[in-house]
Structure 1
Amino acid sequence: MGSEGFVSCDDAANAGAAPPWPVNTWYVACTPAEIEGKPLGRQICGERMVFFRGAEGKVAALEDFCPHRGAPLSLGFIENGALVCGYHGLAMGCNGRTVGMPGQRVGGFPPIRTYPVIERYGFIWVWPGDPALADPAKLRHLEWAESDEWAYGGGLYHVACDYRLMIDNLMDLTHETYVHAGSIGQKEIDEAPVKTRIEGDEIVTSRFMDGIIAPPFWQMALRGAGLPDTGPVDRWQICRFSLPSSVLIEVGVALAGHGGYHADDSKKASSTVVDFMTPETATSHWYFWGMARRFAVADTALTDTIREGQGKIFGEDMEILQLQQRNLDRYPDRKLLLLNIDAGGVRSRMMIERAIAEERAEPVPA
């Protein structure tokens, strides 16, 4: 793929081009806490949706549009398992059909659009495309989310940039030396060779750094794992992109000389950085981030400390990516240069483009 793939997609969208994301797939929509006792309005892949829990705790997703007067249903409230519009009191069921309105007959109203949803792995997932194609089996298995051997903590940022810029950022961690110098960055990242490969349905980039001193964040993690934090360690970063827009990064440090990535759990602090990017518009997305770890899993204070530190790190990413997006919008015809460190991001974009092309392909005549 040429460097034109890195140009802002706003102009392409305004010119009538197809949106830069696949739709027949599962995206993280929200967390259960976000719909606790109330509806949530969220734009996903250009579609304004409302999420809520209906009768018996069932999660539903409807278009955020009251069929009465067009008000956003997300401004309403939940009553007796129905979503009640906050404008005139029209009540909607999980199936998109009206179930009542004070003093009015509304049973004949046509249903509004619904979206397939799944609640799994601590998230609520939505399928914004053809509901007939929605298959729960297509949701990637997340071992860390349902095993007692892992602890997880995370958060959510709304980021004003193309979701693919975040994927570029996560598939090339060279920027850590410069953007995150006070936490996870170190000069050895620049010096370590980057390898990019295709592994099944994933794009994988990897770096290994042996015999180095751990940066501040990983010194903290070593202490949390009950290990010394001042001696040499072997460090690794293995970034895995998979459709539609997730990057899971195996990261960690092991006491030097004990096998590095393959060291016994008693000799290392290892984690998976969790990154789910859900497109909102052509130049904004919802970024669900977190870290799943395999050490000191019962230590909730450590989970909070890691979450706080990780949140600051991703906040630094967010600041630079939003400014990057503004520059790309300002100079939409500028061609960007590509280096070998960009291979993971380029291949990830190619995979996204293929998925979009396959969705929009004309059906083959029988």
Structure 2
Amino acid sequence: MFLVNSHSDYRQALDPRDAEILGLDAANAVERHLSFRENHAETPLVTLPALAAEIGVASIHIKDEGHRLGLGSFKALGGAYAVIRLVLDEASHRLGRTIDISELHSSTVREIAGTMTVACATDGNHGRSVAQGAQLVGARAAIFVHSGVSDERVAAIARFGAEMIRVDGTYDDSVRQAARIAEERGWTIVSDTSWPGYERIPGLVMQGYTALVREALRAMPQPPTHVFIQAGVGGIAAAVAGHMAIAFGDQRPTFIVVDPARAACLFETARAGHLVTVAHGAPTVMAMLECYEPSLVAWRILSRVADAFMTVDEDDAIAVMKRLADPTGNDPAIVAGESGGVGLAGLLGAIGDPAIRQALSLDGHSRIFLVNTEGATDPGKYEEIVGLSPSAVATQHTTGASR
């Protein structure tokens, strides 16, 4: 399914709150923060010239977030950043002066962090980031996971010392239970989705994602003309689209949001023109995108700066995982988890449909930007789908990457 943005807010200026969260000064602050992270390194921007030639576009660049901060997902940029910002804010409040990131590991700040508990609901990747952030600063973490989260993903979070709490039902059920229990116990919710009255912390999470956009734009020889990016609640899509809208103004690229057909909450919200919750049906293989209610802040941004919305099917996501693992020509192999290549699935779907291709002005001059949002965060599941282990695919990753 495909639709162009017809919302009354389309092409209006960003809400001032969102412009501040995703603006250039905020992005600079995120990159400064990352400079204090011991295992920080910019992730690769991978070019796929053979695939670009095959589908008839000028270039394809993929930001490979499977390498981010040892967590295998772009989410590493968001949850941990928000936790650290909250600890610094609390320390500043208690000590009566501004506490800089350079003081994060001081005994005084760690003592304050030790009195704090952060909590969140997760499909896997966001919870891992929150748990890592809590461990870094010496805070406690309680992570709520729904019944569809694999044992391997739960174990990957628990290794950071987090308390794991299983919730019957869907991701959205776990969001609600996390919020209720956190309020009862005085914990701080660090969610990557937002709702009325709860916007600042999800805004910090999204702010963390601007780092990958800054890195990619520095590495690209020319700005992109089109961006296809996958969405769960919409945080990554809104962060990329919002920051690019600020950076490029009227010259910003055409931006397409890609949903799983089985959890198309942003697509259906765009169709309705207001926030909607979609019904929970059969689970999607795109586990990190299995969300049924969009983030309030993300929709506020995307209603203004997304140009189109589309969905992809289960087979499309699986085919892209395999295509990236066994690429065209001399293109490098990329390890993309079940949700990682969904933006590329959207691009291929658009190219294959003459009406969509024309609507988006996709042609031989188009420069495409995509994000591989996750590597093999569940290696067993990855090998079951692709037929090769992540390490076997990674050994092919020898050409085409740039920093």
Same fold (TM over 0.5): no
Structure ranking higher in helix proportion: 2
Structure ranking higher in strand proportion: 1
Relative contact order, CA 8 A, sep 6+: which one is greater?
Answer: 2
Which structure: larger Rg?
Answer: 1
TM, length-normalised to structure 1: 0.29
